[in-house]
Structure 1
C-alpha cells in the first residue's frame, strides 16, 4: 500500500510540474522557426493540427481590426493540387527544391476578402509568423511560400478570395543553421555538406544610433 501511495503522489507531482512548465520561450520558438524546404514523407499532418495553427488568427492583432484574411487548409489527399504550382529555394535554382521524396503534404492557403493593400500586408505578416510559431510549438515546421501561380491555385480550389501566400506545414527533415553577418554582406542563403545556412544581420547593425 505504501508503495502505491508514493507512486501515486509522484505521478501527481509530475503532472502538476508538467502543467506549470511553459511549452517554450519565445526565443526558443523563434530559433526553431526556420523555413524548411524538405519534409519527412512518412509524417502526415492531421486536420486538427492545421485547425490549431489557423486558430491563432482569432487572437492576433489586425490592422483597423478588419480581419479580412481567410484560410484554406490542404491535407495530403489534396497536396497534389498545390505542389505543381509552387517554387521553393529561389536562391538555389540548381537544386530544384524540394528534393524528390521530401515534398510537404499539407498546406494553408492564405487569402484576402479585399484587394491587397498595406493594411492587408500588415495582417499577412502578423498572421503567417504567428501560424508558423504555433506550428513549431506543436512540434511541426513550415515555410512561407510567395512564389506560386495564383491563378492556378485559385482555380484548383475554387477560391472566391484572392490567394496571397501559402504555408507548407510538416515535419522538417533538414539541418538549418543561422550565420551572423554584417549588413553589407551577402544575405543569400546557401547549402554546404547537407546543411542549409541562413545569414542574419547582427543585432549591433540593426540598431540605429
Structure 2
C-alpha cells in the first residue's frame, strides 16, 4: 500500500471489535515509531501512557467524548469499545512546541495502526483533570490527547463535499459513517509555475 492509500484508509474509527485484544508490544511499537518523528527544536516534549488492560480501559472510557456531530450517539456501546489506548502527555515546560509534535506523533501512530490492520480515533475532548487523577499522571505533564485503538467495526466512506458546504460527518441507516472532504481545487489557493 502506498502512502496515499494508507492515508485514505486512516480514518477516525469509533466502533471496534472489543473481543479483539491488543498487546502492549503493539502499542509500544506505535509509540516507538512516533518517537522517531520530527520534533520542534528537537525538544521532544511528549510522553505516553498505554493501556490494553480491560479494567484500565473501562476507567479511561468515561473521560472521553465521542463524535460531536452525532448528537444522538454517546459513543461506542459495550462490545464496540476500544481495546487499547495511547494517552499522549506534554511536558508543561515546552507548551509552545507541544502542539506541533502532537499532530505529527498522533498521525504517525494512526498510520502505523492502519498498516497493522487496526484503526483508531484521536480524541481531544477529554475530561483532562479527572483522567489525569485516574491514571496518576505526573504533575509536570498535561494530557493533550487520547488515541483509542482496536480492530475497526465500522465502514467509513469519504464523500465529496456537497454544494451546501456542510462538513459534518453522518451515519446512514446501515451504520456506514460518511465523511465529506473538500476537493483539491477548493483548498489549493494558487498555483505557481507551469501546469
Q: Name the TM-score, length of structure 1 as normaliser.
A: 0.85
Asked if 1:53 is matched to 2:30, the reply is yes
Q: CA deviation at 1:59?
A: 1.4
Asked if 1:68 is matched to 2:48, the reply is no
Question: Is the Cα contact below 8 Å between 1:44 and 1:76 reproduced in 2?
Answer: no
Residue correspondences, number: 186
Asked if 1:190 is matched to 2:170, the reply is yes
Asked if 1:199 is matched to 2:173, the reply is no
Q: Deviations over 1:69-115 (max 9, x none)?
A: 00100113310110111111111120222134211121000001125
Asked if 1:126 is matched to 2:104, the reply is yes
Structure with the larger RCO, 1 or 2 (CA within 8 Å, 6+ apart): 2
Over alpha carbons, which structure has the higher Rg? 1
Please, which moves more after superposition, 109-118 or 139-148?
109-118
Q: Provide the rounded CA distance (Å) in 2 between the counterparts of 1:202 and 1:40.
A: 32
Q: 1:118 to 1:206 in 2, by over 3 A?
A: farther
Q: CA deviation at 1:136?
A: 0.7
* Residue of structure 2 in register with 1:170 after alignment: 150
Question: Is the Cα contact below 8 Å between 2:35 and 2:105 reproduced in 1?
Answer: no
Asked if 1:114 is matched to 2:97, the reply is no
Q: Provide the rounded CA distance (Å) in 2 between the counterparts of 1:207 and 1:130.
A: 24
Q: 1:117 to 1:183 in 2, by over 3 A?
A: farther
Q: CA deviation at 1:179?
A: 0.6
Asked if 1:181 is matched to 2:135, the reply is no
Q: SS of the counterpart of 2:92?
A: coil
Moved over 3 A (4+): 115-118
Q: CA deviation at 1:183?
A: 8.5
Q: SS of the counterpart of 1:126?
A: helix
CA RMSD, 1 decimal: 1.5
Q: Name the TM-score, length of structure 2 as normaliser.
A: 0.91
Asked if 1:208 is matched to 2:189, the reply is yes
